């Protein structure tokens, strides 16, 4: 017997969609879940992000001892973009005549987060967990830097974890490896002067142009490919410098976005940038700073463990299909949560919503899929933990 009716299950999703946690206000979502959990006698802890009043993670636990399964989802969402393009109010969960629930975060990933939270309540209330611990971790800031997940890792919440389930939208496949991401700012410092007397200054743009040129040339020699993840990528996506046409610019910068793979990872990109910096500073006497400000490692596991096997068999059964075990080009909080884990760690990313719905106008999740995932998670977590030989 389910503890929560389908109406109550949809109401919870609807309530958290209404909290406009666009890269802030995760604390409001955390407090919503804290209050909900309290009703069902589940203790939880709000973990505030350093110095940020409206931002926090939430950790809740049921059961005790080993094994420990961590389940996680992020509470933040991306911006709506141009709301005029939306056919629905982005912050009011709306069902259409095809049974789709629309709203910002419906797929990415408040439905996955709500499904995890509700399965925790179902398991706690039914008393079906015979051994082990389920640790629910709702995170802040995933869409930007994963600083919420970084804090959880730093505070040791993953140290004793034996498995990790992330409920990111991936209903069409079970993901066990994904790319990393990295953003680097390259700043060039010069000295301003009137453009009629450039010899009194130093033009910050020139070394930056050299930098981009050499970097692209060096990167063209990189020949790395992963069977599942494909090649890494690198792009200069923003360039700015100078502020007046008759002044020698004292500052210029470029931003770069990289998607990384295990054989050409974040460390290798950083080393590449630093070697180009050395070359440019030597040749042009420029003053270059390389600042990696987003740094999320690729996640690699072998994808061969009992947890992922059970996830697949339940997914196949609940949705009557043959789900692929697969990879993702997107990055998740696992980049931080799995920092100290090796390829044998049991990592599964599997959740309601199609990958292609993330960050879209009129974003949606199928209501039936959302509801089914609650039952699926309840089965996955209890069966995995109860059957473990401890």
Furthest-apart CA pair in the chain: how many Å? Answer: 82
Q: Does 337 bind Zn ion (CB under 5 A)?
A: no
Q: Which residue stretch of 1-9, 105-113, 155-163, 178-186 sits at the interface with Zn ion (rule: CB under 5 A)?
A: 105-113
**CB nearer to Zn ion: pick between 108 and 122:** 108
Q: Which residue stretch of 39-47, 81-89, 103-111, 270-278 sits at the interface with Zn ion (rule: CB under 5 A)?
A: 103-111
Structure tokens at 20: 């406009």
Contact string (CB under 5 A) for Zn ion, positions 161-200, x = contact: -------x--------------------------------
Task: Supply the minimum distance, in Å, between the C-beta of residue 74 and Zn ion.
Answer: 6
User: How many angstroms separate the CA atoms of 376 and 351, rounded?
Assistant: 10
Q: Catalytic annotation on 226?
A: no
E strands, the chain, in order: 44-48, 56-64, 68-74, 94-95, 100-102, 132-139, 163-166, 174-178, 180-189, 193-194, 233-241, 247-248, 251-260, 287-296, 325-328, 346-349, 364-366
**CB nearer to Zn ion: pick between 108 and 265:** 108
Q: Does 363 bind Zn ion (CB under 5 A)?
A: no
Q: Which residue stretch of 3-11, 13-21, 104-112, 239-247 sits at the interface with Zn ion (rule: CB under 5 A)?
A: 104-112
Contact 198, 237 (CB under 8 A): no
Q: Which residue stretch of 102-110, 204-212, 291-299, 304-312 sits at the interface with Zn ion (rule: CB under 5 A)?
A: 102-110
| Residue from 295, 290, 268 nearest 279 by CA | 290
Task: Supply the minimum distance, in Å, between the C-beta of residue 171 and Zn ion.
Answer: 13
Q: Which of 108, 142, 333, 363 is catalytic?
A: 142
Give start and end residues of each alpha helix (H) in 100-204.
111-126, 147-154
Candidates 61, 108, 297, 333; binder of Zn ion (CB under 5 A) is 108
**CB nearer to Zn ion: pick between 133 and 355:** 355
Q: Does 109 bind Zn ion (CB under 5 A)?
A: yes
CA distances from 276 to 84, 209, 212, 249 (A): 44, 12, 9, 22
Dihedral sign for Cα atoms in the order 59, 62, 64, 67: negative
Contact 108, 357 (CB under 8 A): yes
Q: Does 250 bind Zn ion (CB under 5 A)?
A: no
Q: Which of 61, 76, 210, 333 is catalytic?
A: 76
Task: Supply the minimum distance, in Å, between the C-beta of residue 278 and Zn ion.
Answer: 37
Q: Catalytic annotation on 89?
A: no
Task: Supply the minimum distance, in Å, between the C-beta of residue 73 and Zn ion.
Answer: 8
Contact 116, 15 (CB under 8 A): no
Name the residues that contact Zn ion, by CB under 5 A.
Answer: 108-109, 168
Active-site residues: which are they?
76, 142
């Amino acid at each position: 017997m389910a503890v929560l009716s389908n109406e109550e299950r949809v109401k919870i999703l609807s309530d958290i969609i209404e909290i406009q946690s666009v890269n802030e206000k995760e604390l409001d979502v955390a407090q919503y879940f804290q209050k909900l959990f309290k009703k069902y006698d589940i203790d939880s802890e709000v973990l505030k992000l350093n110095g940020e009043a409206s931002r926090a993670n939430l950790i809740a636990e049921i059961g005790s001892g080993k094994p420990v399964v961590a389940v996680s989802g992020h509470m933040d969402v991306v911006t709506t973009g141009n709301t005029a393009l939306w056919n629905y109010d982005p912050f009011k969960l709306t069902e259409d005549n095809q049974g789709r629930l629309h709203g910002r975060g419906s797929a990415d990933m408040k439905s996955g987060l709500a499904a995890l939270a509700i399965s925790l309540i179902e398991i706690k209330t039914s008393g079906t967990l015979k051994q082990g611990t389920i640790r629910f971790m709702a995170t802040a800031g995933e869409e930007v830097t994963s600083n919420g997940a970084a804090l959880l890792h730093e505070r040791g919440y993953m140290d004793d974890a034996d498995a990790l389930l992330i409920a990111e939208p991936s209903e069409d496949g079970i993901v066990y490896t994904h790319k990393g991401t990295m953003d680097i700012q390259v700043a060039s410092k010069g000295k301003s002067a009137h453009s009629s007397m450039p010899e009194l200054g130093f033009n910050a743009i020139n070394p930056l142009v050299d930098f981009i040129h050499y970097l692209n040339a060096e990167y063209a020699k990189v020949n790395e490919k992963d069977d599942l993840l494909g090649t890494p990528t690198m792009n200069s996506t923003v360039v700015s410098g100078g502020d007046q046409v008759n002044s020698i610019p004292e500052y210029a910068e470029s931003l770069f976005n990289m998607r990384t793979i295990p054989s050409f990872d974040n460390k290798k990109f950083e080393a590449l940038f630093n070697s180009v910096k050395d070359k440019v500073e030597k040749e042009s006497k420029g003053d270059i700073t390389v600042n990696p400000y987003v740094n999320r490692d690729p996640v690699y596991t072998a994808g061969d463990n009992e947890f992922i096997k059970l996830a697949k068999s339940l997914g196949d059964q609940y949705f009557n299909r043959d789900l692929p075990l697969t990879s993702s080009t997107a990055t998740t909080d696992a980049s931080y949560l799995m920092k100290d884990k090796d390829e044998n760690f049991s990592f599964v990313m599997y959740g309601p919503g199609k990958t292609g719905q993330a960050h879209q106008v009129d974003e949606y999740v199928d209501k039936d899929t959302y509801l089914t995932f609650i039952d699926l998670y309840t089965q996955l977590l209890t069966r995995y933990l109860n059957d473990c030989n401890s």
